[in-house]
Amino acid sequence: MNKIAIFLADGFEEIEGLTVVDICRRAGLEIDTVSINGRLEINGSHGIKVNADKVLADIDKDGYSMLVLPGGKVGTENLEACDELIDLIGNYYGSGKYIAAICAAPSIFAHRGFLMGKKATSHPSFEDHLVKGGAICSGNPVEIDSGIITGQGMGASIDFALAIVGIFAGEEKAARIADAICHRQNS
């Protein structure tokens, strides 16, 4: 079974992180919330405290099909300052496994050259990081290119999560969830 890890640091954008967890679990996907802080409690960017499932030191580093990074300026800075996480992301990228980031967090991929020549998106205030990293910034809510999923920000959180579901549970399942949560009517 495919298993996903989403990494949480103090200052993470709650909607971006928790929307991914919620929608993946609705789809029946296994997703672990992983604290990089060495403790389970994480403080979100808007004062919401979240208890992670695991801490980084205790996870099976090879046991996931995808690694996900939520944004939030401070959260992204904290994620990028975690050498153990950055090494793990580099290993996943190098082995062709999926990696995903939303809002400010795609800048982490850009800083490592992972987005060179690839279509990507991020929060508009972080696009310069992507451009300097060689990305082709689309300005779209979500981009998928060569195993890398990027999302624009909080407003694109549902579409970002549905893109992940589409990869691991199928586009049909993603469409059913979208219809259910957005009350869309099929025509």
pLDDT one-digit tens code per residue, 108-153 = 999 999 999 999 999 999 999 999 999 999 999 999 999 999 999 9
Residue 114 inside a domain? The answer is no
Q: Which residue out of 103, 111, 129, 183 is catalytically annotated?
A: 103
Contact call for residues 179 and 165 (beta carbons, < 8 A): no
Query: Of residues 123, 129, 182, 183, which has the active-site annotation?
Result: 123
Which CB contacts under 8 angstroms, 24+ apart, belong to 43-48? Answer: 43/10, 43/11, 44/11, 44/12, 44/13, 44/14, 44/17, 44/72, 44/75, 45/11, 45/12, 45/13, 45/14, 45/72, 45/73, 45/74, 45/75, 46/14, 48/14
Task: Give the range among 37-41, 86-90, 156-160, 178-182 with minimum mean pLDDT.
Answer: 178-182
Q: Determine the average pLDDT of the residues in 5-17.
A: 98
In a domain, 117, yes or no: no
Specify whether 111 is catalytic: no
Nearest CA to 26 among 136, 185, 176?
Answer: 176
Rounded to whole angstroms, the Cα distance separating 99 from 147 reads 7
Tell me the CATH number at 54: 3.40.50.880
Residue 77 in domain: yes
C-alpha 154/C-alpha 177 separation (Å) is 19
Q: Angle, to 10 degrees, between the axis of helix 157-169 and the axis of helix 14-26?
A: 30
User: What's residue 1's pLDDT?
Assistant: 66
Total domain count, the chain: 1
Q: Assess if residue 159 is contained within a domain.
A: yes
Residue 185, pLDDT above cutoff 60: no
Encoded amino acid at 71, one letter: G
Is 119 a domain residue? no
- pLDDT at residue number 187: 44
Query: Can you tell me the distance from the alpha carbon of 96 to that of 91, in angstroms, rounded to the nearest whole number?
Result: 9
Active site includes 82?
A: no
Q: Where do we find the tokens 């982490």?
A: 108
**In contact, 59 and 34? CB cutoff 8 Å:** yes
pLDDT given at position 152 = 97
**For range 61-79, the mean pLDDT:** 97
Q: 61: domain range?
A: 3-103+147-182
**Mean per-residue pLDDT for 59-73?**
97
pLDDT of residue 184: 57
Residue with tokens 């990027």: 150
pTM for the model stands at 0.96
Residue 96 lies in a domain: yes
Percentage of the chain beyond pLDDT 70 is 97
